[in-house]
Amino acid sequence: MAYLQIGLLAPRLFVRKSLPGLVRLDVVEREKHEIKENEAEAGPSEVALAAERALRELAGTGGNAKLFLPPGAPCDNDIVLSVVLVEEDEWWIGYHLHSRYHRPWPGGVARIELPRAAPSRAYLKLLEGLSWPGLPIRKGETALELGSAPGGASFGLLERGLSVLGVDPADMSRAVLENPAFRHIRLQAKQLRMDEVGPVDWLFSDMNIAPDEALDAVEKLMAAPGGMDKGRLLGALLTLKLTNWKRSQDIPELVRKLLERILVIGFAHAQAAQLYYNRHEICVACFTPLGLERISKTLKPAPSARLHESVSKARKKKF
């Protein structure tokens, strides 16, 4: 209980003085160790749950009964108060105005269940990637996936009613192959020609190659006669492996150069983040003008169109 008693007053004072209106509350305990590849992922800790209950109870005293919104996923333009329990005597508190470029889970920790039938954890990366920028895919649309084997992401797209063209020289899972909405093109991405594909609405890529090689394949398809930039393409979700860095300080510049190249290739907007289910890789959401037009009709605009790390400039205060 000492954990909860320390700093309970600080969040209330911080919120009352700085944040107008009702606030969405997220409480998360800092992870004590790195999650291993096949390790089961626990839900919110008992300490985090107890701290959230205590904060909500505290908000009901002293005339603050309507301080926090009910529990639930944040919506666009919600004010989100994030409380990170670092140590027993150390809490980090910050807030941001929620947009599609902020992750909707407390602490950015996605809690997605992997179905038994899903061929790989690429399913988790796909669902988190779709949720993060609010990728507006629709049932009946066509997706081209580069590096599709064994089929985790394809499985997730098929679940959502898309037709999928999977490009990979390796074998696909039977759970995917037996779906009539899936077609396997047994080639490397760099060998693919657009006349083998036809018009597509969305491009997905998660290839175990250097990021520049992955973008080479995307650029070739975009520049081909009748290529995707001249058709109905709305956008892309690219998982790019960070293979060519030696120091963590090098990563922002590497990501900046990758985003610049993506814009040169033919996309109107690109946004990057390292998501919870990413390992040594980043997720890049890319949109054509047509895709941006759809987003503008379905979602309120984000407060910034810059990199994810610069979008969220939440003020942080240590208590």
Positions marked catalytic: 241
Question: Do strands 202-206 and 142-146 pair parallel, antiparallel, or not at all (unpaired)?
Answer: parallel
Nearest to 193 by CA among 228, 162, 142: 228
Phi, psi (rounded to 5 degrees) for 201: -95, -35
Nearest to 285 by CA among 99, 112, 34: 99
Here the tokens at position 234 are 């709305």
Phi, psi (rounded to 5 degrees) for 38: -110, 20
- Angle (CA) 81-85-91 rounded to 5° is 75
Helices (H), 134-228: 152-159, 174-177, 211-223
Q: 181 in helix, strand or coil?
A: coil
Distance CA 28, CA 50 (A): 10
Here the tokens at position 114 are 């992997």
Torsion of CA 178, 180, 182, 185, to 10 degrees: 80
Task: Check whether the bond before 150 is cis (ω within 30° of 0).
Answer: yes
Q: 244 in helix, strand or coil?
A: coil
Nearest to 84 by CA among 47, 54, 58: 47
- Which residues have CB under 8 Å from 278's CB, separation 6+? 125, 239
For the beta carbon of residue 71, count every other beta carbon within 10 angstroms.
Answer: 10
Residue positions counted in the chain: 319
Here the tokens at position 1 are 């209980």
